[in-house]
Amino acid sequence: DLKQINICPGFIARTLEGNFTTLGRGGSDYTAALFANFYKASVLEIWSDVSGLMTADPRLVTAARVIPQLSYEDALELSHFGAKVIYPPTIQPALEQNIPIIIKNTFKLRDLGTKITSSWEDNSTIKGISSIDEICLLNLSGIGMVGIPNFSARFFQALADRNINVIIITQASSEHTICVGIQSFDREKAVEELHKVFSSEINSGKIDPIEVEQHLSIVALVGSNMKSQVGISGQMFSVLGRNGINIKTIAQGSSERNITVVIEKKHLKKALNALHESFFIEEIKKVNLFIIGMGNVGKAFLEQVSNQQAYLLDKLNMNLVIIGAANSKTMIFDEQGLDPTTFMEDLPKSEVFNQANFLEQMRSLNLRNSIFIDITASATVAEIYEEVLKESISVVTPNKIAATKEYKHYSLLKSLSKKYKSQFLFETNVGAGLPVLSTLSDLVKSGDQIIKIEAVLSGTLNFIFNNYDAHTPFVEVVKLAKKEGYTEPDPRLDLSGEDVMGKILILARESGYQFELDEVMGNSFLPESCQTSENEADFYLKLAADEVHFSKLYQEAQSKGCKLRYVASFEDQKLTTGLSQIGMDHPFYHLEGKDNIVLFYTHRYPEQPLVVKGAGAGAAVTASGIFADVMRVANTQQ
């Protein structure tokens, strides 16, 4: 019956003096709540242009969703900390009469919206994550405050006199400081008033001038079920810390309905997304990848990511997203993600590669759960690891240069990864996809001590000596190894033994010992002429010219019933590499194809060593090792 419907203005009001005015933001909702209270209505419906209160600001968190139901108290907390769907005073009149509030979308009538009531059956710990994007902190501090009453009262009265709303308050138990958060637009008048009120104490040195920190944001976890729930604060701080987000100040009321932190504004989007993924477990976790290096291994890695995406989404709720990629000539970025199956077609048409610009793009995007993957052999690319780790972006790489530089630099990268809660992983530096370094790490972490390491660490050299029979020229076998993708881009690095020297150095360092590369004794099997080649083509010519040398090495081993293996060892504080004749009774004798093998002799394995064996070269196995490191980082970011 339309005659029973009353229609009245919403935000039009009258002052005590009888003048017309408006109620300001949320005025119509507040008026409706007052009428609902007066008439003791059965329900209060608020129709808006959104479908209800959201788990986070949808402008910053694309995965945010509508909260179907929450308590009056949780709604008050969310609205206080920035949720603009409902105005805080609107809730109080409905709460007094226990009137349910339903928020609906005028343009999406079928959406269920959000229902706000006193209580219901709910097991979720966190209802939402709210934020205020532009605040500043005011710090009043000084030794003269300790034990002196009335400082707090004067401080807050000064702000109240200028109609400045305080959003967050913290005070040290020593009474040495008081810190409050206010809206940034109130900063100047707040500082002016506080300096006036405390001028005598500031001039006498009893307290310091008001300290102001700007360009900050508030993030608040809200949920009535947080009360007495162990680990919520720790989880929040851990998630922020792993993403390189420093917390300026923390507050939690005795009701335990919210935990509030202040962070730098530039990190707000990253913080909200990281927390949303962490606390709403049904959400898909996004792991952001930045890749330099699109050679054979890089392409194999892209193929593996593409093939595994459906599995990761289905089984682990995880989405690996390639945000940026580059080769030596061009680079391409897309914050929404590059298609690993097609973006290589667009890469040649993209912007010119510049390493500094690539780093700046990673820094400016400031995405959570980020991993930088270097799939090159470039010393120049390895130089940026330090800056990458400082941005709390983990580094995964098969590039051995960083891990074999001066021990001081190697140690620095390790310490930076700890300091900035990132990871520096290089499993594929030794043994391609074999779990060599992870096995060694487990031994060391569990308290075992490495006594001796014997290893065949070059899949390339093993392939060459398994296929060379003195009938096919040695140089042709080397060319075949490169064609099959088993060598470094320049095979001279493999045949010189430098690659193996770097690998045994890494094994020694990861065992807990301090060595430099020049302490590795490398015994080359190449004739002197081949060691001074000008380029790869010249190297092949000299290998062909010295075929007699290689044939002699083979024949000598054959005459003794042995096989040639390029062996690396660590024993008695000595690191050595060189070509050896291996008899049938040794584990190295039966190595096939491009296999690697590592024997770990430890206090727990003194006679029968712990053995890691398998394919140690090739694009696919190296890519799988990179993938494994990426997953290690992603799983520790959970």
DSSP 8-state code for residue 53: -
Is residue 408 part of the annotated active site? The answer reads: no
Question: 142 — phi, psi (to 5°)?
Answer: 155, 145
> What long-range pairs does 162-168 form, CB within 8 A, spacing at least 24?
162/186, 162/189, 162/190, 162/193, 164/189, 164/190, 164/193, 167/81, 167/132, 167/135, 167/218, 168/135, 168/218, 168/249, 168/251, 168/260, 168/262
Q: By C-alpha distance, which of 123, 425, 125 is closest to 278?
A: 125
In whole angstroms, what is the distance from residue 611 CA to residue 16 CA? 87
Tallying the residues shown for the chain, one arrives at 638
Answer for the pair 450, 571: CB distance below 8 angstroms, yes or no: no
- Extract the runs of DSSP E, i.e. beta strands, from 482-562: 520-523
Answer for the pair 255, 72: CB distance below 8 angstroms, yes or no: no
Q: Which residue in the list 285, 503, 563, 594 is annotated as catalytic?
A: 503
In one-letter notation, the amino acid at residue 212 is: V
Question: 514 — phi, psi (to 5°)?
Answer: -100, 110
Specify whether the backbone of 31 is left (phi greater than 0), alpha (psi in -120 to 50) or beta.
alpha
Coil, helix or strand at residue 131:
strand
Answer for the pair 488, 500: CB distance below 8 angstroms, yes or no: no
Catalytically active residues are 503
